[in-house]
Amino acid sequence: MGAAVLTDNSWLSTSIAYLNGEPWKVVRKFFLQILKERGANSIKSSIAGPLYDSIKSTINDLKAKKGEPVNLIELLTEKCTTIMRLTLFGEVGVTDEQIKKFNELYAGEVMCMTPLNMLMCGTYAKYFIFPFMPHYSEAVKCNKQMEKLLHDILNEHKATYDAENPRDIIDEYFKEKDQRRSRGDSTAEYFTDEALVGSLMQFMGDGVLGVASFASLFVKNVLDSTEEDKLYKEIVDVIGLDRQPTIEDKSKMTYFNAYILEAMRTSDFFNIFPTLECTKETTLGGYRIPKGAILLMNFYSTHYDPEVFEEPTKFNPSRYIQTEGKRRPELPLTFGIGKRSCLGEGFVMMQVFLLFATLLQNFHLRLPDGSKQITAEEFLTGNVLICAIPRDKS
Binding residues for heme: 342
Report CA torsion sign: 250, 82, 150, 165.
negative
> Does residue 75 contact residue 62 with C-beta atoms inside 8 Å?
yes
- Within 240-319, strands assigned E span 272-277, 282-284, 287-289, 294-298
Give just the sign of the alpha carbon dihedral 367, 372, 374, 379: negative
**Which contacts qualify for 379-382: CB closer than 8 Å, 24 or more apart?**
379/73, 379/213, 379/216, 379/217, 379/219, 379/220, 380/73, 380/110, 380/213, 380/216, 380/217, 380/269, 381/111, 382/71, 382/73, 382/74, 382/77, 382/107
HSE-up of residue 14 (Cα within 13 Å, Cβ side): 17
Q: Which residues are annotated as a binding site?
A: 342
Strands 385-390 and 69-71: antiparallel
* Residues 200 and 81: beta-carbon distance below 8 Å: no
Residue 44 and residue 352 in contact, taking contact as beta carbons nearer than 8 Å: no
- CA separation for the pair 137, 141 (Å, rounded): 6
d(CA 39, CA 224): 34
Q: Judge whether 211 and 24 are in contact, CB under 8 Å.
A: no
Single out the residue of 117, 103, 115, 106 nearest to residue 139, CA to CA: 106
